[in-house]
Copies of this chain bind each other. A is one copy, B any other.
């Protein structure tokens, strides 16, 4: 699997695969798990018992264990019309690995639960697992167990990720202090614009089924939504520079929603500078095409899986060693609230406009 370029064809994904289709029922539940996990290679010495028993066993002498879980539901979190299953498998791992990184921990294992209707063939599941294994290899995590079952409708993915961290090195959302600098990795807003583009192309395709989408020139933003990466490299950079952030979260709901999480849990306020928010040129151009404000996309878009964290002012010099990290503001006392200073110099309150699955 190419780690950088997402593939995206409007083939009506699942129909197309019926040429070469093995019914899952021919294997049975246990046969299916055996089949899908037959090539697992263990990468972490702490993985003692893996797939194939009632539970997995992890050895963590002298380390602390970090655990997270995400549930992804077809039609809510992903659309199989434009999401290749291989990318979906990759992203499933990324989303969970990202949560582990956001604790300043190293991801080590994942457990996967899948539920799917009989619309899914064995080949479709294999493709999903190909993406899972590619991400496991890239991030150095072991798939150590899981559960597969049937659903009445759609594809449902449950992923639990486990990581380890030296005692007391984990970073919560609640440790930000007045005067700390607010940092963000990479750039923001791209995933939201990629999704907006794919949704538009889907509408066009639904109206004129012969028309394949023209995604040339938009590879960056499409890649940001279909194949995000978790910033394990940032965790490694912070460790190498001996920086322990005071608070950290990964940006899954959007910068505004996620900075408010840090403010609420740390009982502080913040000031962000619009001009400091990192936005890629491709993202900016795509925003203009859609008549959207790039800053609004960065603030409310979500799904970028970048890391948002706070550091002590004395760590500023060390942070500048990475071009992947931008300082975008600072922490204030709670009474000052959460504010953004626009390029024009005016001040606005930050409100959570993050994605709400229940609306």
Which chain B positions have C-beta within 8 A of A149? 71, 73, 76-77, 357
Which chain B positions have C-beta within 8 A of A49? 66, 103, 170, 172
Instruction: Assess whether B65 is in contact with A59, with CB atoms less than 8 Å apart.
Output: yes
Q: Is the C-beta of A202 less than 8 angstroms from some C-beta in chain B? A: no
| Contact A146 to B69, CB < 8 A, known contacts A24-B358, A64-B48, A358-B24 | yes
| Contact A69 to B102, CB < 8 A, known contacts A54-B249, A172-B53 | no
Which chain B positions have C-beta within 8 A of A150? 73, 76, 357-358
Q: Which residue of B lies closest to A98 (CB)?
A: B54
Per-residue CB contact flags for chain A residues 165-196 toward chain B (1 = under 8 Å, else 0) read 10100101110000000000000000000000
Closest beta carbon of chain B to A194's beta carbon, Å: 21
| Assembly CA distance A25 to B73 (angstroms) | 18
| Assembly CA distance A248 to B66 (angstroms) | 27
Chain A residues with CB under 8 Å of chain B are 24-25, 27-30, 32, 48-49, 52-62, 64-71, 73-77, 98-100, 102-103, 105, 109, 111-115, 118, 144-147, 149-154, 156, 158, 160-163, 165, 167, 170, 172-174, 248-250, 261, 265, 356-359
Which 7 A-B pairs have CB atoms at the shortest separation, nearest pair first? A158-B158, A55-B68, A71-B113, A54-B102, A58-B65, A54-B99, A160-B160
